[in-house]
A and B are shown apart, each in its own frame.
Chain A
Amino acid sequence: MMRGHPPQVATWLLRRLAVGWHSESLEGDLIEQYAQGRSRLWYWRQVAMAIVFAQSHAFRTRIWIATIRVFLHLFTELAVVLGAVSIIDQSRHADDWQDMLSPAFIATMTVLITIGLAGLWLTVKLLKWRQSYGPIKPLIVFFAVTALGVGTFSWASATRRQCSADTCHCQSIERQSITAERR
């Protein structure tokens, strides 16, 4: 016995919320069974079960991967920003290239480059579990980059202010000593 269409709302929910492994075949199986005489209640119950299975499976797999990916992004970006800041800071304080390539600076850069490369490699490895997280991921990345950028600029301006204050202090001491000599 062939019947009409199954409940539209249930099918709509199935398509939206039960996305996963062979979900199209599952939908086809339910439509086929309904067409062969299964009740509307049976169809709704099957759809509910399919949604529960799909969501629980997605939750189990997605939450860990999403968390790991966000942390990997943060670590990689932090390493890149810190690396750039270290280079700028070192170049400001060093007089020449030999002075710039100090052992501490090389060690810092090695650690940062290693963290950055490891984060990048793991991010690429995790790409096979590509899933949609909506706008959450770009927002987190945007927030992290903005926070790091603002932090870097505020740190740099604070350092500059301190340097200029030191210079003023030095100049005032020099001025005082010159005045004392004249007397």
Chain B
Amino acid sequence: MVGRERSIPPRLQRSNYFTIIEDMRKRDYLGQLELMVLFAVMRVNMNAYGVLISQEISKQSGRDVSIASVYAALERLEKKGLITSLLGEPTAERGGKARTYFKPTAAGLKEARDAHRTLMRLSSGLPGLKGQIA
């Protein structure tokens, strides 16, 4: 085995375990719909509620999404602490039901920025994507 370099793996130290556990926690990535909903909440900005969020997603993606799936994604985002909700006043046109307004938290904005940056880096320069993005 002369002239052939052997790569020696770095020794795992106790402090590495905490880093690994932290990384494992961070790997709780958002799904596609969750990301779309988070971006839609940011786009609508104030007064983001179920109907406006689903309309925004339909407008931007060209796909019709059910309001129930939007609410399911909103629930997951709120559990992760990426958005907050606020109950509005009930109105007659909604059968006496109140709207729930959503807005992103600081952690949600950071997550959206990180996801956007990562996706841009991953997709930049890919030959299969050239000329397809409007």
Contacts and interface: CB of A to CB of B under 8 A. Distances in A.
Interface of A: 2, 5, 11, 18, 21-22, 24-33, 35, 45-46, 49-50, 52-54, 57
Contact of A46 (B68, B72, B90, B100): B68
A22 B93 contact: no
Nearest to A25: B100
A26 B93 contact: no
Contacts of A46: 66-68
Most chain A CB within a 10 A radius of its CB, from B49, B68, B97, B100: B68
A32 B69 contact: no
Contacts of A57: 72
Which 6 interchain pairs have the tightest Cβ spacing? Answer: A28-B97, A28-B94, A50-B68, A25-B100, A29-B50, A49-B66
A18 B69 CA distance: 12
B68 A22 contact: no
Contact of A35 (B71, B90, B93): B93
Nearest to A18: B68
Interface residues of B, number: 22
Nearest to A51: B68
Interface of B: 49-51, 66-69, 71-72, 74-75, 85, 87, 90-91, 93-95, 97-100
Most chain B CB within a 10 A radius of its CB, from A32, A46, A50, A57: A32
A57 B40 CA distance: 23
B100 A45 contact: no
A18 B72 CA distance: 12
**Would you call the interface of chain A mostly helix, strand, loop, or mixed?**
helix
A27 B96 CA distance: 10
Contacts of B90: 28
A60 B95 CA distance: 30
Contacts, number: 70
B75 A29 contact: no
Nearest to B72: A53
30 contacts: A2-B93, A5-B95, A11-B95, A18-B68, A21-B71, A21-B75, A22-B71, A22-B85, A22-B100, A25-B97, A25-B98, A28-B95, A28-B97, A28-B98, A29-B50, A29-B51, A29-B67, A29-B99, A32-B51, A32-B94, A35-B93, A46-B68, A49-B67, A49-B68, A49-B69, A50-B71, A52-B68, A53-B68, A53-B72, A54-B68
Given A31-B93, A49-B66, 11 more contacts: A21-B71, A22-B71, A22-B85, A24-B98, A25-B100, A26-B71, A28-B90, A30-B67, A33-B67, A50-B67, A50-B68
Contact of A45 (B51, B66, B75): B66
Given A21-B75, A25-B99, A31 B66 contact: no
